[in-house]
Amino acid sequence: MSFEVRVEKRLGGHAVAADFTAEGPVTALVGPSGIGKTSILNMVAGILGPDAGRIVVAGRALFDADAGIDLPPEQRHAGYVFQDDRLFPHLNVENNLLYGQKLARARDARIEAGEVIALLGLEPLLRRLPRNLSGGEARRVAIGRAMLARPAFLLLDEPLTSLDEALREEMLRTVERVRDQFRLPILYVSHNPEEVRRITAEVVRLSRR
């Protein structure tokens, strides 16, 4: 299976929890605002520690409270695309991408820079600074940087948020190309039913506990 996630975490006065298995290639997490979708991604990435449970991605245990397994983020090899892109403002697009490549696992050469640049249409953007990119362009660069870290899986946190209709369509096509060409397990957070229906039939609906 691509994802096995069974976690619980108390944050302030409420609990965040998920319990699902999914075969992929794309699994969408949906639910109302504040339900904990981003917190679930952070637990899978190792940024936030669950109070209990188990996380397995592509057959590899990342966290298991009963077995005492809790891999640090750098050993989980997640490609994480945050809502706010988090590009380095002082580096141009090419150097932002190269930063991702520096994080790559040397033993895994499945994803090459030229292939990612071509797939995401980044060639015309390579000399630009992030402040000179549109919202859609910045998202594509963020996805490219995550992919060039040669991740074992991708975490996409509402990648279409704050984009206009044309840019949303552009980004949906980008996600579809990544899904179809690289076949990495993807955990995709969204609040938009239409975009979810388009990219996957594997949907996990989170509800309050």
**What is the per-residue pLDDT across 130-157, written as a single tens digit (0 to 9) for each?**
999 998 899 899 999 988 888 889 999 9
Q: Percentage of the chain surpassing pLDDT 70?
A: 95
Q: In what order do the strands lie in the sheet with 186-189?
A: 78-81, 153-157, 186-189, 26-30, 203-205
170: number of Cβ within 10 Å: 19
Distance between CA atoms of residues 196 and 160, nearest Å: 11
Distance between CA atoms of residues 120 and 154, nearest Å: 15
User: Is residue 60 within 8 Å of residue 40, measured between CB atoms?
Assistant: no
Q: What are the Cα distances from residue 64, in Å, to 6, 38, 48, 86, 119?
A: 9, 20, 14, 29, 36
Residues 97-115 have a mean pLDDT of: 71
Res. 124: pLDDT tops 80: yes
User: Is residue 186 within 8 Å of residue 26, measured between CB atoms?
Assistant: yes
Q: Which residue has the higher pLDDT, 86 or 103?
A: 86
Distance between CA atoms of residues 120 and 174, nearest Å: 7
Q: What is the pLDDT of residues 167-182, one digit of tens each?
A: 888 888 888 888 888 8
Domains within the chain, CATH numbers bracketed: 25-38+72-201 (3.40.50.300)
Q: Which residue has the higher pLDDT, 11 or 6?
A: 6
Q: What is the pLDDT of residues 180-204, one digit of tens each?
A: 888 889 999 998 888 899 999 999 9
Largest CA distance in the chain: 50
Nearest residue to 199 (alpha-carbon basis) of 165, 176, 178, 181: 176
Res. 13: pLDDT tops 90: no
Banded pLDDT at 2 (limits 50, 70, 90): confident
What is the chain's percent helix, strand, coil content, to nearest 5? Answer: 35, 25, 40
